[in-house]
Amino acid sequence: MKITVEHLPQSTVRLDIAADPEEFDAALERAFRRISQQVQVPGFRPGRAPRALVERRVGRELIVAEAQRELMDRLYREALQQHRLTPVAEPEVEIYQDEPLAFRVEVQVYPQVDLDGYRDIRVEPREVEVTEEEIDQVIEGLRRSRAVWKTPDEPRQPRDGDQVIVDIEAYEGEQPFQEPLRQATFVLGESNLFAEIDQAIRSLRPGESAEFDIAFAEEDERVSPELRGKTLHYRVTVHEVKEAELPEVNDEFAQSLGVATLSELRDRVRRDLLREKAQAARAEVLEQAVQRLLEVATVELPPALVERQVAADVERLREQLRQRGSSLEEYLRFQGKTLEEFKEELRPQAEARLRRYLVLEAFAEAEGIAVSEEELVAEIERLALASGSPEQFRAFYSVPSVRSYLADELHERKVSERLLELVTEGRGAVIGEAARVLAGAEPAEGTEPAAEEAVTAPEVVDGETTPASESAESLAATETGSRADDDQAS
């Protein structure tokens, strides 16, 4: 067999494969024997008739075609193996010579990644610090989480920081636009209500109502699509106004959080903030390193691999929608897009993810990074002992799919650590005190860990807040801000 390989754009190769006369004759003989077993020639048992009679019976072309089919399959696979090519799509085949067989194949293959110069990438480590003002902000958030909501001595209009309980109704013409919100709870200044609704609430005392119109622009992307281009009539009624009574920040307050003194609480908050900042800084340095690696890398994505990724993304979304009781078809109708238009939107992100994955895998191969069975077993044992239920945990990670997931996670961790080591010349992504905290160093002398609540308590916790229905987001609240804001607003 003679093979000529030509590399084409988009990770496509053209293979020119020519069989040797001897191997083609051998394939022709095997084809004749297979066909002769299936052909009835008078006076001969199956497989015993002379070749000339069999050819006359079925035609030489059939025997040649059968020999070509067998030989093409074998020679194509040998060519892929010999040149270490992995197809990602069905090949296009052209036979340009029948005897002896010679044919061309064009096929998209798993791409090769060139990382020329990657060892010269450098990224400066980060040094982070925590200010007293940042500690004060966290303490204030913890303080507000223990606020007690009380009704003011004299009825008054609500102001920033007050909790209000309201009804909100919206009408399109004479008809209700959506189910009204009844006894919905909001904290003014912290809920992403429409400005007109917020302003109306601030103008009312308990028991009072206001009516007004809101016109939504057609192109206003801050609101839900069903509101755009509409003018709705709103009626808002304030039932209650409550103000927050905040505890004093002292040792007693610290003790309510499981810490002996306020000084120790501040030390714990500082350490936690330093850890958070160090983790964020490490993530930034790692992302900068990956981006620099992507810049020096050369890789051509085969279209078939991109299409496969897009198809997987579509199916993933389809399953998520199915679990929510919806469908991809309903989603596309709501978006006003065809399936092909939606796929086209997904394609750039799919290409970016594929390119990132391929480049990092090429980096791992270049650096000889792999997860050994011993490392995997050690990680499972570490997690099992820390879980409190070691036997149950070990059984869980004996499931092949779960074990494979953990192996992938370990692999990704090793790649990240090696890349950071390379680009910072061994200094690490974060330097200084934050590096010691990030590495799990012991607390500074004279400090004790506070209760976990001191770390995880949200900035504002309203124990009396009653979540409204999802319609609050489209009926009364903008879509800007985080999901946490939306949930709090509703």
- Nearest CA-CA partner of 167 in 109, 235, 220, 112: 235
Per-residue pLDDT at 474: 53
Task: Specify the fold of 2-108.
Answer: Alpha-Beta Plaits (3.30.70)
In three-state secondary structure terms, 334 is helix
pLDDT of residue 458 exceeding 70, the answer is no
pLDDT of residue 75 exceeding 90, the answer is yes
For 159-212, give the secondary structure using H, E and C: CCCCEEEEEEEEEECCEECCCCEEEEEEECCCCCECHHHHHHHHCCCCCCEEEE
Per-residue pLDDT at 223: 85
Of 477 and 436, which is predicted with more confidence?
436
If you classify domain 149-245+464-489 with CATH, what class do you get?
Answer: alpha beta
Per-residue pLDDT at 222: 82
| Second CATH level (architecture) for the domain 251-456 | Orthogonal Bundle (1.10)
What is the CA angle 370-376-381, rounded to 5? 155
Task: Lowest mean pLDDT of 178-192, 212-226, 334-348, 454-468, name the range.
Answer: 454-468
pLDDT of residue 306 exceeding 70, the answer is yes
pLDDT in tens, 353-385: 999 999 999 999 999 999 999 999 999 999 999
Segment 426-431 mean pLDDT:
94
Of 213 and 479, which is predicted with more confidence?
213
Distance between CA atoms of residues 474 and 224, nearest Å? 5
The pLDDT-based confidence of 468 (bands split at 50, 70, 90) is very low
Give me the residue spans of the domains in the chain: 2-108, 149-245+464-489, 251-456
pLDDT of residue 315 exceeding 80, the answer is yes
Q: pTM (2 decimals)?
A: 0.72
pLDDT of residue 442 exceeding 50, the answer is no
Per-residue pLDDT at 438: 85
Per-residue pLDDT at 319: 95
Per-residue pLDDT at 441: 52
pLDDT of residue 470 exceeding 50, the answer is no
Segment 45-52 mean pLDDT:
72
Segment 454-459 mean pLDDT:
31
Most confident of 35-39, 227-231, 363-367: 363-367
Say yes or no: do domains 2-108 and 149-245+464-489 share a fold: no
In three-state secondary structure terms, 213 is strand
- Nearest-10 Cα torsion for 53, 56, 59, 62: -10
pLDDT of residue 453 exceeding 80, the answer is no
What is the DSSP-derived secondary structure letter of residue 463? T
Q: List the helix and strand counts (H, then E) for the chain.
A: 17, 10
pLDDT in tens, 328-342: 999 999 888 999 999
What share of the chain in percent tops pLDDT 90? Answer: 72
Segment 172-179 mean pLDDT:
91
Distance between CA atoms of residues 119 and 67, nearest Å? 51
Segment 170-190 mean pLDDT:
93
Segment 18-32 mean pLDDT:
89
Average model confidence (pLDDT) for the chain?
Answer: 87
The pLDDT-based confidence of 46 (bands split at 50, 70, 90) is confident
pLDDT of residue 464 exceeding 50, the answer is no
Per-residue pLDDT at 277: 95
Of 472 and 90, which is predicted with more confidence?
90
